[in-house]
Each structure stands twice: as C-alpha cells, then as structure tokens.
C-alpha cells in the first residue's frame, strides 16, 4: 500500500519524468516532419513524437513503481495492474503540436483501484507543471493553486473541446454552446483537455466540459481540479468521469447551474 509519504516522493519523480519528456517534445517540434504523421482514424492523428514520448514515460515509470500497470494512449504497455495503474497521455494536444499551435501537454495519473491518487500535467510551451496527490492540495511549479471564486455563470469563462470525429451529438453540442455564450463571459477551446482542466484548477477559467474523451485525457487533470477545491462529475452529476467519456469540471460554485445548461445536451 502506498502511503502519503510515498505519494510525495512519487509525485516529485513523476514531475521529473514529465519535464524530461516535455523537453524531448519541445526539441522535436523545432524540426518536426509533418510527413511522419499517421492516422489512427478520421482526424485522429499520431506522430513518432507521441510514440517515443510514451515509450520514455513507460520506461521511467516502470522503474519508479514496478508493481503498477499501464493504461496508455498509444499502446506501448497495456498490461493492467491489480491495484495500481498509470494512466498516460504522452502528448495531449497532438493536433496542436502538428500545426505548431503552442498548447499541448504531458499527462500522467496514478490510480489505486478506481481512485485517482496522483496527477501531473506538464504544459510544454509555458513550462508549467501542474500536480496533485490525493488529500495534498494542488500546485503549479511549486505554488499552491485553487479554483476561481466566481459566483455564477455570468462571471465565468468556460472551456470546451470540439468533436473531431464523432459528430452524432453535434446539434445538441452547438445548442449548448449557444446557450453558454449567452450566459457566460465566453467560451474557449485550447485543444488539450489536460490543460483545460488545469486552467480550471488554477482559476483561469471557471468550468470545462467535453464528451467522447478517454481516461488518459482527463485522469491527471481531474484530480488536480478536485485538489484545488473544484468539482468534477460526469454530465449526470455522478462520478463516472474518468472512463465514462463525459466530464464536467468547475470551481464548484457554478456546478449546479452549469449542469442545468448541459442537461439540454445530455438529454
């Protein structure tokens, strides 16, 4: 069983891994060859940078916590652990990376059974390392962060992600965006769900929602939001946000009203 003291050490080691891999990604971006991009599916892109970054992460974490399994985006290691599992997105925001739009990140979470206990998100371009452990608070570059105190939707900025291959719910999604545009300070689309969640945690935005995401997109950021004092749920207000493919995060204060707006989309 990992103790709180163990978690403190693990989060330090995980930050170092994320920063090392972030440096690799940053270097590769300087001479990136777009012809080496592969298509996993429609608009679902992957590059050799994603694949090599994931291999580096898996190699490092296998030494740090040998008993843990892995849930990975690129399938470098898909061996599930009985108790502990790393949940890894080596390059969250691949499309941004390919087009040289500077919002992409490394996302690493650790789960104990079904519970998130550690999360690290390293935003590569701004050199911002967000991290949290269970019951330990949330930080960015060693400075404690907390969610915004905005009292309602009318004082809030909401982040989201646009669907890029599953368009079945697009009409409901656009209706929800239309509603939020009229009820908030505005909407933002940064292109990395892990970064979106960290911006909620640090009070830069008040809320984030998106559907059709995977566990490795949201696991680390979700814990960071919760440890920063925010609220994270699925679209129904429940706890199935890591594997349920629908996530809503907020400063907590606006969460109920936020979910009411999303009910049109949910239903």
What whole-number distance in Å separates Cα of residue 94 and Cα of residue 248? 22
Q: In what order do the strands lie in the sheet with 207-211?
A: 186-188, 157-160, 207-211, 246-250, 231-233
Asked if residue 5 belongs to a known ligand binding site, the reply is: no
Count of beta carbons in the 10 Å neighbourhood of residue 165 = 10
Residue 73 in marked binding region: yes
> How many CA atoms lie less than 13 Å away from 101 in the CB half-sphere?
12
Of residues 244, 239, 257, 89, the one with CA closest to residue 158: 257
Tell me the CA distances in angstroms from 14 to 11, 41, 68, 209, 240, one per residue in order. 5, 30, 13, 26, 25
Q: Is 112 annotated as a binding residue?
A: no
* Annotated binding-site residue? 50: no
Angstrom distance (rounded) from CA 109 to CA 197 = 13
Close Cβ partners of 122 (under 8 Å, ≥ 6 residues apart):
15, 18, 19, 21, 22, 105, 106, 128, 129, 130
Alpha carbons 67 and 236: distance in angstroms, whole number? 34
Closest CA to 198 of 48, 82, 92, 50: 92
**Look-up: residue for tokens 């719910």?**
169
Q: Tell me: is residue 142 an annotated ligand-binding position.
A: no
State the binding site for Mg(2+): 73, 89, 91-92, 217
State the binding site: 73, 89, 91-92, 217
């Amino acid at each position: 069983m990992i103790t709180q003291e163990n978690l403190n050490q693990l989060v330090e080691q995980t930050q170092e891994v994320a920063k090392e891999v972030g440096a690799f990604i940053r270097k590769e971006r300087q001479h990136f060859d777009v012809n080496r991009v592969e298509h996993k599916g429609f608009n679902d892109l992957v590059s050799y940078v994603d694949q090599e970054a994931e291999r580096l992460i898996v190699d490092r974490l296998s030494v740090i916590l040998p008993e843990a399994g892995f849930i990975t985006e690129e399938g470098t290691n898909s061996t599930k652990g009985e108790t502990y599992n790393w949940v890894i997105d080596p390059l969250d925001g691949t499309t941004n990376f390919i087009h040289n739009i500077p919002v992409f990140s490394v996302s690493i979470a650790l789960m104990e059974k079904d519970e998130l206990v550690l999360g690290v998100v390293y935003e590569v371009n701004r050199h911002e390392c967000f991290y949290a452990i269970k019951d330990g608070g949330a930080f960015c570059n060693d400075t404690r962060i907390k969610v915004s105190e905005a009292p309602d939707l009318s004082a809030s900025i909401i982040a989201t992600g646009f669907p890029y291959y599953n368009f079945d719910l697009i009409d409901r999604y656009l209706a929800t965006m239309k509603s939020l545009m009229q009820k908030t300070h505005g909407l933002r689309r940064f292109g990395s769900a892990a970064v979106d969640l960290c911006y909620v945690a640090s009070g830069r935005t008040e809320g984030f929602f998106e559907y059709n995401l995977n566990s490795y997109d949201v696991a680390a950021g979700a814990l960071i939001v919760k440890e920063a004092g925010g609220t994270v749920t699925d679209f129904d207000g429940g706890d199935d946000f890591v594997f349920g493919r629908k996530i809503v995060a907020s400063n907590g204060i606006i969460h109920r009203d936020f979910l009411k707006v999303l009910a049109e989309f949910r239903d």
